[in-house]
Structure 1
Amino acid sequence: MSFRVVHLKTEYVVNPLGLDESKPRLFWRLESEKRGTVQSAYRVLVSSSREALDRDEGDQWDSGKVVSASSIQVVYGGKPLQSEGQYFWKVQAWDGEGNPSGWSETAYWTMGLLDRGEWKAGWIGRKTEANVVMQPSPHVRKSFGIAGKVKRATAYATALGLYELRVNGEKVGDLFAPGFTDYDKRVQVQTYDVTPLVREGENAVGAVLGDGWYCGTVGFLGSKVYGERPFFLLQLHIELEDGTKQIVKTDSTWRTARGPILYSDMIKGEAYDARLELAGWDRPGFDDSGWEQPDVRPGYNGLLTASIEPPVRITETRRPISVRRTDAGTFIYDMGQNMVGWTEVKVRGARGAKITLSHAEMLNPDGSLYLDNLRVAVQQDHYILKGEGEERYEPRFTFHGFRYVELIGYPGEADLDTIVGKVVHSDTPRTGRLETNDAMVNRLYSNIVWGQRGNFLSVPTDCPQRDERLGWTGDAQIFARTASYNMDVSRFFTKFMWDMIDAQQPSGAFTDVAPDAGWIRHKMWNTRLNWFAPDNAGWGDAGVVIPWTLYLMYGDTRILETHYGAMVRWVEYLKANSDELVRPSYANYGDWLSIDADTPNEVLATAYFAYSAKLLSRIAGVLGEKRDEAHYDGLFRDIAAAFRRAFVDAEGRIHGATQTVYVLALQFGLLEGEQRDAAIRHLVDDIRGRGDRLSTGFLGVGYLLPALTDSGRLDVAYALLTQEAFPSWMYSIKHGATTIWERWDGWTEHNGFQTPSMNSFNHYSLGSVGEWMFRYMAGIETDPDRPGFRHAIVRPQPGGRLTEAKAEYESLYGVVSTDWKLSPDGAFRLAVRVPAGATATVVVPGSGARVDGEPANAAASPTGWTLAWQTEAAATFEIGSGEYVFESVIGAAAFAR
């Protein structure tokens, strides 16, 4: 059958476990070899058993035949969902001619513990050891028996800190669970199906605990931010074939002991003594009579919520590309890539021998590790051998940002097989690919992706190496659209929005970092002699920008509904703290790390105030809040007028005269008529006056190339993209960068390393140019009126030294791709792919357009395309799903301006 329903997901996930969403959203894709395939209707069946579903019985929900093109964000509309319920579902669809598909494959989801009263377990931990600064990682365990055959076994687990769950000797789950949240407000619960691991007879369950973000070091905010030591919570629910139910829960009957992990800290590294390993501790029959009784915490007042974020996993293993022995007898490895994770080492040696793995991003001129930029972070892991043949070690509860590894104290001659690097991050699957004929542009895109991989670990960290690694909101919002092209960040940013909500102040202000982790207290202390404000322009605005981004990229209206009130409070806070709609100049960061161009804070803050109001108006419109839509649109217009009165002179010059003030004014729609034209001229003059070089920092850089392109200066945008002189993206690439640097001047030929107090070489913010590369260079854009790429806008804009570019984006509907080539004679060829169930508007530059080899001289074609209009400069087509090839001729005038 040529028309199929495939790739079913619930809440963005294939077969998720332990949801606590009362009305989960369902997603599916269509597949068809036929062009112009659309869905005209669907039917969803949801059943409480696979057998009933196989009989086409929807005992939980039978939607009936629903006339609708929707195949994403379809809200479950059946009976109330029950705690621990299992739900199986499938879909049938009808195409545009009314032909039905067969039923899809079966998908499922399970619910978690939906009522706090269902939690009977206690929080268990180990008493603190006296006079030990960094505590060893506790092991906790419990033996239990099962009298019968197991039908289903489900573990519900979480921790204040980190945990690694073990069942009958097997590791269960992923890394760094339960993730970084504001533990005073909420902790996430992970659900595991452990049915294959639990058996009739004697069993054992246990966990190793780590300090993590709860009581370990959190950036420069110190340690024990939330608590003194880690605690573990588990309920293992077992159902036997005869219907008997059994619960194994953490309580005072468990046992605890220290183990081989002497300490583990996110910032200070880990130490492991293999001589202290507890062989068989996580298996039945282990003698734990010498272990201690655990300490049971009185309770926990925060929320226990189902895990929202994607799990942290090892996503790649990398071999080093070189190794050299130093004069001191150590070995320095080059991994060939600045990465985040850790090193696994294999070693043979005497019992009690100690080796150290030290990690760094760069090398000093003398070839030693450059460690100055780590501040107080210690990217070292220590291993003490047990002396029993070949041993392997990798850490459990820490991570590092590095390209270079120094192996210290190694017994013997190390080689390229001695270590491997483990790449670790939140498992947000790749959705974007981009390639051009220009090797340096390709390297830039690779660096952007690696920066995202290195910094998306439970929260969007600002850097993965020094004593920081916090969820900075300004960095996140400027990069959110780029991130959404590169990877599936739907759940990642959904969870981060809850972090922002938990940190939102009673005034309505969103904070600089989320989770807050004591940041507000830290900020108040460090500004105690000055007037304190909890917000920063461009940082707090993430509370509006990120939900809007998820709506555009995933068609997600629920995140808009859920956080609408919080967004209103933010904009009203800005309004209340402005003077005739002009914001004050107290923002701490401004256009962070700009180059010789300090944007006045009051200009930037007022521009972002306008932008938040503008987006809020659009969000209100999406949600059907017509009164609010009009109100906040009016507020935006009033702020824009106030901006012009306060900051724009008669010649169209904006106060500060930086590239960023012009870029923000243009992109946020703050200028009108001649003022806009003047702003474009002033922006280009500044760029040209600097030798075709940029000066923008974190907040300006993401809008720089879009503003130029939208203003008809594509030539200048490409000149900046491929500029190789300092400051530029290509400058760092010429000097070996494999990730995006925090600063344009992180290292320069004339000054060497920048100040080590603020100099990360893996910091994604300046990589926000990736958005422009997809939306403008490759030409893959979503339509705000039909979001989630239900309707794509395909408008590639070739220029500069690029003659080829191809890109693909895996939307919720399927893959949207473009592949264009421009010949020296001006012949332009564009291949476009649109997934079934979606449509696109395609704008082909140049004249004499042809489609699939035929002249585009008809308004409509029976082969899936319609010519909307055509000029000498471009032709616009409306197309359905399928693959198309467009051709045209681009004259030299197309690039001149």
Structure 2
Amino acid sequence: MTSTSWLAAMITPEQDFDGAPLLRREFTLDDGHGAVAKATLRATALGVYEASINGVPVGPDVLSPGWSSYEWRLRYRSYDVTAVITPTSVIGVELGNGWYRGRLAWHGLSNLYGSELGFFGQLDIEFADGHVQTVASDTTWQAGPSATTVNDLYDGQTIDARRLQAGWAEPGFARDGAQGADWTGVRELAFDAGRLAEPVGPPVVRTGVVRPVEVFTSPGGKTLVDFGQNLVGWLRFTVQGEAGRTITVRHAEVLEDGELGARPLRSAKATDTFILSGGRDSFEPTKTFHGFRYAEVTGWPGTLTADDLEAVVVHSYLERIGTFECSNDLVNQLHRNIVWGLRGNFLDLPTDCPQRDERLGWTGDIAVFAPTAAYLYDVKGFLQDWLLDLATEQKAQDGLVPITVPDVLKYCPQPAEFPAPESSALWSEASVWVPWALWEAYGDLGVLQKQYESMAAHTRRVEGLLSANGLWDSGFQFGDWLDPDAAPDQPWAAKADTAVVATACMYRTARLTAQAAGLLGKHDDEAHFNALAARVRNAFAEHYVAASGTIRSDCTTVYALAIAFDVLLTPELREFAGNRLAELVRDNGYRVSTGFAGTPFITHALTDTGHVNEAYRLLLEEGCPSWLYPVTMGATTVWERWDSMLPDGTINPGEMTSFNHYALGAVADWMHKAIGGIRPLEPGYSRVLIQPQPGEGISWARTSLKTPHGEVRAAWTLDGGEFRLEATVPDGVAADVVLPDGSRHGVTGGTHRFEARVGVLVN
């Protein structure tokens, strides 16, 4: 539906009703037109909404319309409600603050997009004879109070069951005057319907339920519930107690000294409050969400048991397409942690973390995690929708890709010593790296077509930031953020020179933008960006690579990036870099020494330069810092810091200690491609490479992927030097199968089995 077809107005209640008003509109069907053939409701809000027809929810979604760049792009959702329309019907709507008016970021600010909630909806009813009746949001609607008295995404929701108004969303409510006495009218808000946009991505829905594994009493006498899994969502339960009794639920990801470890939440209260009516009350706080494994419950009538409540898992609806499993149980748990981290942070947009006073769409995290995400789930629509916001924010800032999308930080005060916002390596690179990851994963050229202007604008902007010598060596950079050797309160203090990191990133970006231009037939741009890439590559060689091959700052991250991005000029330099990288990894006892920039690429770089066993040893190390250290500490999601929890069970003293942060889980891309052995030879897996690379510590692995052309599967075992592989390829797809002995086999659709002799794997 185009903007010219809208008859609806954006309406807001005359009273705010504690930030959670109810809206209703009762209507009767037009006579004389036969049966209802189709009824479609289109709805959106300034805030979040839940809509119903005659008390029946119009869809499974929650927290709609989600968070977009509201200034330019407000998404609406469409619902087929034909089955619930009756001769007299009611459209009912519950509103909440959501991202539009609730607290955002760590500055303690609310109302960053606006101070008034609003609803915009239009129900079009088509009859058998072609007549269309439209019921749209306008000033004839009514508004009233809900049972919710507080709602905020960070702080939680308060529901007073004594305020529930039965039947408010059904016909006949308030007709006799006894009901609805405190209801008021609505007024129209100024609103440009040109901002309305159909969503490209899926809605946020309830995706599952997790039951408690234990209810216990803490050393301080608190009742704690352990769900056994760090998840994102809320609690749901039915309870009965005396009227006015208050049940309070606090949420946290971890325990410390046996009590709820709430300090990492910073200022987020993450607390839901429920006030009982005296009858049998059912509670579900759908206007907030929490990242938690543990809940502290106070005020429960009687003795709380594991049968009394459940955790509802909430995130964007995504189809699982990729799997991985191997002989190492800790690695399997790591992979499950990566999957759960994706689920928790893909709630309408790719967030950095789902629990503290942040939950922002940090561009750097998804820039490196996109290939992993695109393998595990079908994230094409989800990330395309986010990329539309990225391009919109970027266009409004003269090509600058902000560090968070939507860019709410532009409304927040920054310390005076902070530099003015500017493009940041790896973070702003999301404008190029994410669409390229989607192109490789799904083979849809339309992704690049839609995002090319954004890709080119970013690359040109950074071109203008380069020094005369061709290096990106000025301005603020995050660099190898959260290097494990940096002090907890100095996450920027990495071993890797920030200019080396930035220049390597720029080379990769220029190359990818050139390739995108070529695919789209933009050959002048292709030539320009290829020349830019060559200039940056030569500058990197001249200023950062010594004659011996040593790269400035001589640490794992700079070698990993130089190899992974192919920035080195000669095979000899590449070989030296691989050998030096492997040496550094060995000298560090196979413990991780990279931060956000280096970690996603180091295992790829080792494997691609012939150091497969070093890559395996790095993955399988259990000492801190390592991927498996958190697993040995009981982690069920990936942590922000390698040591978010210290070996003694205390929480890292740093300000940033999220226990659900997917970026470091980008190692799963290597697990899928190197251990599992599946990677695309052409975008979208129209041609496939199946090349498992076995290494020390894993004796079998199997992985699968639903590609646009069908499912690809690979399963291998290694026993006493005998390597066996079973590979399945969809009909119509050609695959190259490369065995560890170097032999190459071309196959097409079907299941194929291979054997090879593998030499003894050594350290």
Q: Secondary structure at the match of 1:313?
A: strand
Matched, 1:377 2:268: yes
Pick the aligned partner of 2:155 from 268, 286, 309: 268
Pick the aligned partner of 1:798 from 666, 670, 694: 694
Q: Residue 552 of structure 1 corresponds to which residue in structure 2?
A: 440
Distance change (3 Å), C-alpha of 1:286 and 1:533: closer
Query: In 2, Cα distance between the equivalents of 1:295 and 1:831?
Result: 66
Matched, 1:460 2:358: no
Residues 552 and 787 in structure 1, CA contact (< 8 A), matched pair in contact too:
yes
TM-superposed CA distance for 1:242, in Å, is 2.5
Residues 161 and 214 in structure 1, CA contact (< 8 A), matched pair in contact too:
yes
Counterpart residue identity of residue 830, structure 1: L
Residues 335 and 403 in structure 1, CA contact (< 8 A), matched pair in contact too:
yes
Q: Residue 538 of structure 1 corresponds to which residue in structure 2?
A: 426
Residues 15 and 184 in structure 2, CA contact (< 8 A), matched pair in contact too:
no
Q: Secondary structure at the match of 2:84?
A: coil
Q: Residue 252 of structure 2 corresponds to which residue in structure 1?
A: 360
Q: How does 1:855-870 map to 2 (within 5 A)?
A: none
Higher mean Cα deviation, 544-553 or 679-688?
A: 679-688
TM-superposed CA distance for 1:327, in Å, is 6.5
Query: In 2, Cα distance between the equivalents of 1:328 and 1:607?
Result: 52
Pick the aligned partner of 1:143 from 21, 26, 42: 26
TM-superposed CA distance for 1:128, in Å, is 4.9
Q: Deviations over 1:548-573 (max 9, x none)?
A: 11110111111211221221111111
Q: Secondary structure at the match of 1:229?
A: coil
Q: Residue 733 of structure 1 corresponds to which residue in structure 2?
A: 631
Query: In 1, Cα distance between the equivalents of 2:235 and 2:640?
Result: 24
Matched, 1:123 2:18: no
Q: Deviations over 1:464-491 (max 9, x none)?
A: 1100000000000100000011111010
TM-superposed CA distance for 1:526, in Å, is 1.9
Q: Residue 97 of structure 1 corresponds to which residue in structure 2?
A: none
Percent identity between the two aligned chains: 38
Higher mean Cα deviation, 436-445 or 528-537?
A: 528-537
Query: In 2, Cα distance between the equivalents of 1:392 and 1:415?
Result: 16
Q: Residue 752 of structure 2 corresponds to which residue in structure 1?
A: 884
Q: Residue 494 of structure 1 corresponds to which residue in structure 2?
A: 384
Counterpart residue identity of residue 136, structure 1: G
Query: In 1, Cα distance between the equivalents of 2:464 and 2:438?
Result: 28
Q: Residue 581 of structure 1 corresponds to which residue in structure 2?
A: 470
Q: Residue 711 of structure 2 corresponds to which residue in structure 1?
A: 815
TM-superposed CA distance for 1:688, in Å, is 1.4
Residues 502 and 515 in structure 1, CA contact (< 8 A), matched pair in contact too:
no
Counterpart residue identity of residue 142, structure 1: R
Distance change (3 Å), C-alpha of 1:604 and 1:545: same
TM-superposed CA distance for 1:122, in Å, is 0.8
Query: In 2, Cα distance between the equivalents of 1:631 and 1:692?
Result: 41
Q: Secondary structure at the match of 1:757?
A: coil
Q: Residue 191 of structure 2 corresponds to which residue in structure 1?
A: 299
Q: How does 1:386-785 map to 2 (within 5 A)?
A: 386-388=277-279, 390-504=280-394, 505-517=396-408, 519-522=409-412, 525-529=413-417, 531-579=419-467, 580-596=469-485, 597-673=494-570, 674-749=572-647, 752-783=650-681
Higher mean Cα deviation, 752-761 or 274-283?
A: 752-761
Residues 269 and 399 in structure 1, CA contact (< 8 A), matched pair in contact too:
yes
Counterpart residue identity of residue 182, structure 1: S
Counterpart residue identity of residue 251, structure 1: D
Counterpart residue identity of residue 716, structure 2: W
Matched, 1:837 2:732: yes
Q: Residue 491 of structure 2 corresponds to which residue in structure 1?
A: none
TM-superposed CA distance for 1:432, in Å, is 1.0
Q: Secondary structure at the match of 2:550?
A: coil
Stretches of structure 2 lacking an aligned partner (at least 5 in a row): 486-493
Q: Deviations over 1:628-677 (max 9, x none)?
A: 22322221111011011111112211111221111111111111333222
Q: Secondary structure at the match of 2:601?
A: helix
Residues 8 and 121 in structure 2, CA contact (< 8 A), matched pair in contact too:
yes
Pick the aligned partner of 1:342 from 230, 234, 249: 234
Query: In 1, Cα distance between the equivalents of 2:624 and 2:58?
Result: 49
Q: Residue 214 of structure 2 corresponds to which residue in structure 1?
A: 322
TM-superposed CA distance for 1:839, in Å, is 2.0
Residues 89 and 170 in structure 2, CA contact (< 8 A), matched pair in contact too:
yes
Residues 128 and 229 in structure 1, CA contact (< 8 A), matched pair in contact too:
no
Residues 340 and 464 in structure 1, CA contact (< 8 A), matched pair in contact too:
yes
TM-superposed CA distance for 1:328, in Å, is 6.1
Matched, 1:190 2:81: no
Residues 67 and 349 in structure 2, CA contact (< 8 A), matched pair in contact too:
yes
Q: Residue 252 of structure 1 corresponds to which residue in structure 2?
A: 139
Query: In 2, Cα distance between the equivalents of 1:429 and 1:688?
Result: 39
Q: Secondary structure at the match of 1:752?
A: coil
Query: In 2, Cα distance between the equivalents of 1:529 and 1:760?
Result: 26
Q: Secondary structure at the match of 2:314?
A: strand
Residues 702 and 716 in structure 2, CA contact (< 8 A), matched pair in contact too:
yes
Query: In 1, Cα distance between the equivalents of 2:236 and 2:152?
Result: 17
Query: In 1, Cα distance between the equivalents of 2:663 and 2:221?
Result: 38
Distance change (3 Å), C-alpha of 1:736 and 1:585: farther
Query: In 2, Cα distance between the equivalents of 1:461 and 1:246?
Result: 41
Q: Secondary structure at the match of 1:526?
A: coil
Q: Residue 129 of structure 2 corresponds to which residue in structure 1?
A: 242
TM-superposed CA distance for 1:451, in Å, is 0.5
TM-superposed CA distance for 1:326, in Å, is 4.2
Residues 219 and 259 in structure 2, CA contact (< 8 A), matched pair in contact too:
no
Matched, 1:787 2:683: yes
Q: Secondary structure at the match of 1:219?
A: coil
Q: Residue 311 of structure 1 corresponds to which residue in structure 2?
A: 203
Query: In 2, Cα distance between the equivalents of 1:303 and 1:266?
Result: 24
Q: Secondary structure at the match of 2:138?
A: coil
Query: In 2, Cα distance between the equivalents of 1:719 and 1:752?
Result: 27
Q: Residue 109 of structure 1 corresponds to which residue in structure 2?
A: none
Distance change (3 Å), C-alpha of 1:144 and 1:804: same
Counterpart residue identity of residue 167, structure 2: G
Residues 616 and 695 in structure 2, CA contact (< 8 A), matched pair in contact too:
yes
Query: In 1, Cα distance between the equivalents of 2:506 and 2:218?
Result: 55
Residues 333 and 405 in structure 1, CA contact (< 8 A), matched pair in contact too:
yes
Counterpart residue identity of residue 471, structure 2: V
Residues 804 and 820 in structure 1, CA contact (< 8 A), matched pair in contact too:
yes
Higher mean Cα deviation, 672-681 or 788-797?
A: 672-681
Q: Deviations over 1:124-176 (max 9, x none)?
A: 112455xx9xx330100000001342111011111111100010110112111
Matched residue count: 742
Residues 219 and 267 in structure 1, CA contact (< 8 A), matched pair in contact too:
no
Query: In 2, Cα distance between the equivalents of 1:642 and 1:328?
Result: 61
Q: Secondary structure at the match of 2:743?
A: strand
Query: In 2, Cα distance between the equivalents of 1:311 and 1:368?
Result: 35
Residues 236 and 248 in structure 1, CA contact (< 8 A), matched pair in contact too:
yes
Counterpart residue identity of residue 290, structure 2: H
Query: In 2, Cα distance between the equivalents of 1:705 and 1:323?
Result: 40
Residues 188 and 308 in structure 1, CA contact (< 8 A), matched pair in contact too:
no
Residues 254 and 294 in structure 1, CA contact (< 8 A), matched pair in contact too:
yes
Counterpart residue identity of residue 417, structure 1: D
Query: In 2, Cα distance between the equivalents of 1:326 and 1:721?
Result: 35
Counterpart residue identity of residue 746, structure 1: S
